[in-house]
Chains A and B, each alone.
Chain A
Amino acid sequence: MRYEKPQTVADAARLLTAEKGITRVLGGGTDVLVQLKAGMVEPDLIVDIKALPGIRAIVAEAGGFRIGAAVSNAQLGEDAAVRAMWPGVVEAAGLIGSTQVQGRATMAGNLCNASPAGDAVPALVAAGAVARVAGPGAARDVPVEAIPAGPGKTTLKRGEFITSILLPARPAKSGDAYLRFIPRTEMDIAVASAAVSLTLNDHGVITAARVALGAVAPTVRLVDDAAAAIIGTKLHDDALAALAAACSAACAPIDDKRGTIEFRTEVAGVLAKRAARIAYTRAGGQA
C-alpha cells in the first residue's frame, strides 16, 4: 500500500488515474481508516488531499460559500457566516460522530462515502449544493445528489475526486433544517433522516422548497412531490400531512439491524414534518 500526499490537484489526479489497483482518497480519514482497520478494503494507493491549495478553506463566492473538501466539520461549525445562511447544513455536518471525529470529518468525505445514511448529504441536497469534481480532464460541477450511485458507490470516474462543495446564495426569508432519527441522542447512525430547505414570500407563503430524505433508499432521495406539497402553503396541518405522505411514498428502504421498512417509511414523514416546521420558523414564518 502506497501513501502519497501531492501538492497540486493535477498531481493528485495523475496519481489516482495512473494507479491500476484500488485507490482511496484520504481527507479526514474517518471512513477510510475505519474501513482499513475492519479489513473491508486493502487499497494499493492512498492519496492524501489535505496538502492541496485551498482544500481546507471556506471562501465566499457568488453570494454563497465554497467549502474546501478537507474543511473539517468542526471548522465549518465555527464559521458564523455559513452557519447564519445554511444552519441546517452546518447542524447536519455537526451531528457526525464524536467531538474527536468532528475535528477530522468532512462533508465531501461524507458525500463520497456514499452511505444512504450520511448526515451531511440530505442537507446538502436540500440546499442545492454543487460539488466541484477534479480529475484527469477539466474540472466539472455536479449537483451533490448526482454523486452517490448506491451504498458505497459514487458516479465519480477513475481519477476523479471532489475538491470543494458550493453552498449557493439564497434569497431573503429562507431557512433550512435537518433531522435524523437515532435510538440514542448522539454517536449514532441515522435510521431515517429528512432535510428541508424553503423560501417564503412576504405573506409567509412558501414559494420554493427542496426536501431530501436519507437512509430510506439506496441513495439520498430528493423528493419533488414533498416539496410540491408545501409550496404555496403556510405549512398548515394539511400541507404537513401531505408532505409526510409524499415522503413516506418516496421511501424504498430495507429491513436491517437498524430499523424496519415499516418504521423507516413512517418516521421519514414524521421527520420531514418536524424539519419543515423548523425551516419555516428559521425563514421568519409564524408557525
Chain B
Amino acid sequence: MAFDSHEKRVFKQVGTRPPRPDGVDKVTGRAQYGADVTAPGMLTARILRSPHAHARIVSIDTSEAEAMAGVKGVVTGRDFALPEDAGLADIAVNVMARDKALYDGHAVAAVAAVSPAIAKAALKAIKVQYEVLPHVTDVDAAMQPGAPVVLEGRALESVPAGMSVNVTHASEFGHGDLAAGFAKADRIVERSFKTAATHQGYIEPHACLASVTVDGKADLWCCTQGQFMVRTVCAALMGMEASQLRVTASEIGGGFGGKTTVFIEPVALVLARKTGRPVKITMTRDEVFRATGPTVSTSIDVKIGMTKDGRITAGEARLRYSGGAFPCGTVDMGAMAAFAAYDLEAVRTQGWNALTNRPKEAAYRAPGAPQAIYAVESVVDELCQILKLDPLDVRIRNAAKKGTKSSYGPVFDDIGLLATLEAAKAHPHYKAPLKPGQARGVSCGFWFNFGGNTCVSLNVNTDGTVGVTEGNPDIGGSRASISLMAAEELGIPYDKVRTIVADTASLGYNDVTDGSRVTFSVGLATIAAARDAKTKMCARAAKIWGIDEEAVEWKDGAAWPAGPNAGQFPPMSLAEIAAVSFQTGGPIAGHHEVNADGAGVSFGVHLCDLEVDPETGKTTILRYSVFQDAGKAVHPDYVEGQMQGGAVQGIGWALNEEYIYGRDGRMQNPGFLDYRVPVASDLPMIEAVILEIPNPGHPYGVRGVGETPIVPPLAAISNGVSRAVGVRMQELPLSPPRVLKAIKAA
C-alpha cells in the first residue's frame, strides 16, 4: 500500500502518547507470561544437557530414570522425527541431539515427572556415555584447514572448493572497479576486527505448556515472537497437520529476535504425547545462555580509501561469521549492510559462515548488521582522524540518498539518512564542549526492515466499539500502536478500540514478529481492514438512506452523503450504523490479508560522549543521543523506547557483554553476574530524536524502528574509546582489561 500522498493528512490520534492497553496488567502482575500457565494434572519436564562442547553420544541409558517413582516419561533424540527440509531438520537436531552433542548445553534427553524435584533427580539417573571430540569455538580457527569438523557436508554450492568443510556459506555483493577506486584515494586504511557473541538477554526465560489429546489434537501455550512459526515448526517435527495444533502466545518478557525459533516447545509436545498429560517446561537462566541463540561471533577485515577532502573512493570488507553448530546465513545480512550508508562508486563485500561448537545462532535485532557496520564505521572514523575531517561532515558528504545504487544492489527510494545526519550535526550535543580526557564517538546505522505475511480482522461491535484481532505478540507496545491506527482511520476515540493477539486457530497466518515489521505491516493491514469496514458501513448508510453506495463517503468517524447531489441526510456515526447493523445486513467486520512489501529501509545516527579511566581502562558513558528516521512515529513513546533500548543493548555489547569460553569449550559465564548487561546506573538518559521522512510504502508513512538503533552503538562507543585513549580499538567488548592493556601498550 502506497503512502497517502494525495491528501495532506493531519493526524488526530497517530502521534499521541496514550497509555498502553496492556500496561495495567503488566505493572500489577496480572499479565500471563510463559511460565504462568498451568493445567490440571500437569507434569514438569527438565532437560539433560551436554557438558561437552563436542562429543559423540555413544549411548544413553534412561532405564533407571524411567523406573523412578513419579517419573512419567523420558525422551531422547530417537523420539523426534527428522524432517526432510534441512532448516527444519537443523531445528529438530538443535532441540534434541541425535548422534553428537554439538555444543556445551546441547539437549540430549528430557524427563517429565510429577514434580520439579523428581524431574531434577531423574536427570541425574540418566547415564550418557560420551566420546569427547576435539572442538572449535573461534570462527577464524574453524575456517582453517584441519579444524575439528562440526558437521559434514553442509556447504552450499557458493562455497569455493578448498575451504574447511566448516564453511557452509559464501556470498558477495558490490559494484564498480575497486582497484580504480583505491587508486584515487589519498589515504587507505585497512584493519581487522573481532566481535564476541552476545545474547539478547531478555528477562523472561523460555517457557511453555503442551497438551496432546488421545485423538491427536494439541494445544501449546508459549512465550514466543510468533505463534504461527511455532505451529509450522512443531507440526512438522510432530508429523501433525497445522489445524490440529493450536498455539497461543503468552505475554512476552522480551525477545529481541531470540524468540523467533523453538527450543523447548517440541520437547514438551513429544513428552505430552508420550505421557498423555500436559507438560510444562521452564528454562533456567543457565539454560537460556547455554542453549538458546546468541548472535553470531565475527571476524571482519575492512579496507577503505578516502580523498583528502573526505570522499570515499572505494570500500571493501571480508566478513567471517559463525552462527554456531548449524549453517547460518546471517553473514549475508552483514555483507549487504556493511556499506549501505554510503553512496559509493566502488564497493565489494564478501562473507563466509563457519560452523563452530557454539549454540545455534538466533536473530538479535538487525542480525548481522551491527558487527559489519561497527567494522566499517571504525575505519571511516580512523580516516577522519588521520585526515583531520569532521566525522559527520564526511558521512554527509558520502551519504546514500534517493537514487543511490546501494552497496547491495537496489536503488534507494526516499530515505532519511541525510536528514538524520544533519539533525545530529545541528543538535546541541554535537556542539557541546568536551573536557580533557573525554571523547565523542559517532556512527551511522542501517537496517533493511521487513513486511511479510499479515492478516488482520477488525470487528465493529453494536455498541460502537471496535475489536482488532492481530496475530503478532505485542513485544514493544504494538497493541497501542495498532489501536491508534484503527482509531485514526475510523475516526473514533482510541479507548473505543481494543486490539488482541489471537491464537493460531483464530486468524490467518502471520509471519513472526521480526524485521521491525509489526507496526509497519500489521498497521498497514489494520488501516486496510478499517477501510474495508468503512466501505461496508457506507453501504449500510446508503441502504438506510436509499441512495447509491458510491454516493456515501466516510469522514470524521461518520458516513456522509457525498456532495449535494447525494441528498440531504444527517451523517451517521460508526456507533449509529453499528447499532442498527442487525437490521441492515448483519454484523460488520473488515479484513485484510497481505504479503506486505515496501517496508522501507531505516537509518540512524548515534552520538556518544564518554571518558576512559586511564588507570583502570573503564569506560563511562556521559551523554548519548540517538537520531533516527521513523517515517511516522505512531506512538512516539514506544518509538523513543525502541531507540533508547537499542542504544542500551548496543552499549552493553560494546563494553562488556560476551560469551566467554574456557579451553574445554564450555561457556564460563551463563548468568547475569558474569554476562554483564548494563544496569540503570551505568547509563545516562538516552536522548531520542525522531525524524519523520514518510515511507512511500505505507499509507501513513510508517517505517519499522525496532532494529536500527542497535546498529550504531558498537562503533559510536569504540570510536569514542579509540579517540579517548589514542589507540584504535579493534575488538569487542571493550572490557576494562582489554582497554587497559591497549593504553599500556601505546
Binding site for B on A (CB under 8 A): 38, 181, 183-189, 191, 256-260, 262-263, 266-267, 270
Contacts and interface: CB of A to CB of B under 8 A. Distances in A.
Given A183-B655, A183-B735, A183-B736, A262 B681 contact: no
Contacts, number: 53
Contacts of A187: 679
A17 to B, nearest CB: 29
Contact of A186 (B617, B618, B681): B681
A266 B669 CA distance: 24
A185 B619 CA distance: 11
B283 to A, nearest CB: 14
Contact of A262 (B674, B676, B737): B737
Interface string B709-746: 00000000000000000000000000111001100100
Given A183-B656, A185-B679, A188-B673, A262 B741 contact: yes
Interface in B652-678: 655-656, 660, 668-669, 673-674, 676, 678
Interface in B638-696: 655-656, 660, 668-669, 673-674, 676, 678-679, 681-682
Contacts of B735: 183
Nearest to B655: A183
Contact of B682 (A181, A185, A257, A270): A185
Given A184-B682, A185-B682, A270 B736 contact: no
A38 B741 CA distance: 34
Nearest to A258: B674
B615 interface: yes
B590 to A, nearest CB: 49
Interface string B496-512: 00000000000000000
Given A262-B737, A263-B737, A183 B676 contact: yes
Given A181-B618, A257-B674, A258-B674, A266 B740 contact: yes
Nearest to A264: B737
Interface of B: 286, 615-618, 655-656, 660, 668-669, 673-674, 676, 678-679, 681-682, 735-737, 740-741, 744
Contacts of A267: 615-616, 736, 740
Contacts of B669: 257
A193 to B, nearest CB: 12
Nearest to B735: A183
Contact of B736 (A186, A257, A263): A263
Given A184-B656, A270-B615, A270-B616, A189 B673 contact: yes
B660 A184 contact: no
Nearest to B120: A39
A256 B737 CA distance: 11
Nearest to B661: A257
Given A184-B679, A185-B681, A186-B679, 7 more contacts: A38-B286, A183-B656, A184-B676, A184-B678, A188-B673, A263-B736, A263-B740
A191 B616 CA distance: 11
Contacts of A258: 674
A183 B734 CA distance: 10
Nearest to A38: B286
B668 A257 contact: yes
B726 to A, nearest CB: 18
Dominant SS among interface residues on chain B? loop
Nearest to B677: A184
A53 B314 CA distance: 78
Interface centre among A183, A259, A267 (most CB of B within 10 A): A183
A189 B660 CA distance: 17
Dominant SS among interface residues on chain A? loop
B331 to A, nearest CB: 27
B479 to A, nearest CB: 31
Given A257-B674, A263-B740, A266-B740, A183 B660 contact: no
A263 B674 contact: no
Nearest to A266: B740
Contacts of A184: 656, 676, 678-679, 681-682
Nearest to B669: A257
Interface centre among B618, B655, B668 (most CB of A within 10 A): B618
B703 to A, nearest CB: 33
B449 to A, nearest CB: 32
Contacts of B673: 188-189
Given A186-B681, A259-B737, A260-B737, A181 B676 contact: no
A259 B741 CA distance: 12
15 contacts: A181-B736, A183-B656, A183-B735, A183-B736, A184-B676, A184-B679, A184-B682, A185-B679, A185-B681, A186-B679, A191-B736, A263-B736, A266-B615, A270-B615, A270-B616
A52 to B, nearest CB: 30
A127 to B, nearest CB: 25
Given A257-B668, A267-B616, A188 B676 contact: yes
A186 B682 CA distance: 8
Contacts of B741: 260, 262-263
Contacts of A189: 673-674
A263 B615 CA distance: 10
A183 B656 CA distance: 7
A113 to B, nearest CB: 14
A263 B656 CA distance: 15
Nearest to A274: B615
A79 to B, nearest CB: 25
Given A181-B616, A188-B673, A257 B660 contact: yes
Interface centre among A188, A259, A263 (most CB of B within 10 A): A263
Nearest to A273: B615
Interface centre among B616, B617, B735 (most CB of A within 10 A): B616
Nearest to B683: A185
A196 B713 CA distance: 38
Contacts of B618: 181, 183
Nearest to A261: B737
A59 B673 CA distance: 35
Contacts of B676: 183-184, 188
A185 B681 CA distance: 6
A88 to B, nearest CB: 19
Contacts of A183: 618, 655-656, 676, 735-736
Query: 10 smallest A-B Cβ distances: which pairs?
Result: A263-B737, A185-B681, A270-B615, A257-B668, A257-B660, A260-B737, A183-B656, A185-B682, A257-B669, A187-B679
A256 B668 CA distance: 9
A266 B615 CA distance: 8
